[in-house]
Amino acid sequence: MAKEKTVYVCSNCGQESPKWVGKCPSCGAWNTYVEEIVRKETVNKRPVSGMETAKAKPVTLDEIAADDEPRIDLHDAELNRVLGGGLVQGSLVLIGGEPGIGKSTLVLQTILRIPEKRILYISGEESARQLKLRADRLSGTSADCLIVCETSLEQIYVHIKNTRPDLVIIDSIQTISTETLESSPGSIAQVRECSASILRFAKETHTAVILIGHINKEGSIAGPKVLEHIVDTVLQFEGDQHYMYRILRSIKNRFGSTAELGIYEMRQDGLRQVSNPSELLLSQDHEGMSGIAIASAIEGIRPFLIETQALVSSAVYGNPQRSATGFDIRRMNMLLAVLEKRVGFKLAQKDVFLNIAGGLKVNDPAIDLAVISAILSSNMDTTIEPEICMAGEIGLSGEIRPVNRIEQRIGEAEKLGFKRFILPKYNLQGLNASKLKIELIPVRKVEEAFRALFG
């Protein structure tokens, strides 16, 4: 006989409590406990995968084969690189992102390009007709891609047992529920139990599973934090809906590096891979325009050139405005203070607006030099030569600090035809400049960089 009872569960870490508490004793978060109605069985019944597999037995390290994990080629260079070379068989991958950002579009267009694998797409949010309309828009068909609309975990295992797929897609994990729990789909207990059961199925049968997940208003994966610990890989799909670029980041990856980055362009017929983002992020012609500087940035381990735009004008109101798009506003205020204190440029009564072209958000400190160069260029209404690229972090004393991966940054600028590259003087150590066709201008302080730019 099953008994119903009410428990309070922390939405951050999944800790249970018989009564409501303000501060979670496990993770320390405030006001995260929510009420859930659960049904406790008289026996310890858990959702099962429905697959009969042999039990594992202990083996020594010498008996374990150290071969590379077999991977599934997804025929998408960006997605393959972010995953570490492809999708590992038996892995559980979670893709999260804002509503409407393109998670389902990315997954659907990817599986339509894999005709050699049998794929089962389980949709808990959309109807089969909606998926058909999206597939027609993506101009893709696959005879071995099976679609089923289902939200019951037990029925999902029945479909898997009948079709024996090589890859399973679940869209989304927040809509799936198991009969062993009384709580509603999307609750902490349901997400935790369903994802743990799917993990056991993936490991026992060596079937790759891709989960699509929602995110909360803070930008992290919705549901208990244990969900991110259960899966093998967590991918974050992000971007501004008003811009056409999307970035796929790897937050956690047990089979590859978390420093990789994939860039896509949203189009009418789906997401297009951007193999060379530098050419798209740079405007075609900015000759004769002030307030524009080109920076060589690194996102993950991928170099690309970005256009930094600044506008400085006299303040109309008493308090000058400070605005930054795609750049940390607090860091911009620090750079303005360095300009005023160390270099002597008076910007206290000026409005300063900063924009990173293309709608990207860049956290690389190496673009500091381009930021202050663009601000100064706009303030003096003097153009920076379009053939100059730069990279350097600005310290509080006005020194230009060294940056990492300088060879990749210079190589990207040289590949796109830039003639001169301003870099920190310390980065010249160990750098073989004889093979480079680009002129290197080492600088130690902000004043030296300004003399190289403006004479």
- Binding annotation for ATP: 97-104
Find out whether the peptide bond into 172 is cis, omega within 30 degrees of 0: yes
377 in Cβ contact with 383 (< 8 Å):
yes
Closest Cα to residue 416, out of 223, 238, 243, 276? 276
48 in Cβ contact with 197 (< 8 Å):
yes
Encoding tokens for residue 202?
């993936």
Q: Calculate the alpha carbon distances from 341 to 334, 345, 353, 398 in Å.
A: 10, 8, 20, 9
Question: H or E element: which one contains 226?
Answer: helix 226-230
Query: Helices marked H in 68-151 — which ranges?
Result: 77-83, 103-111, 128-137
User: HEC string of 140-166?
Assistant: CCCCCEEEEECCEHHHHHHHHHHHCCC
424 in Cβ contact with 368 (< 8 Å):
no
* Binding site per annotation, positions: 97-104
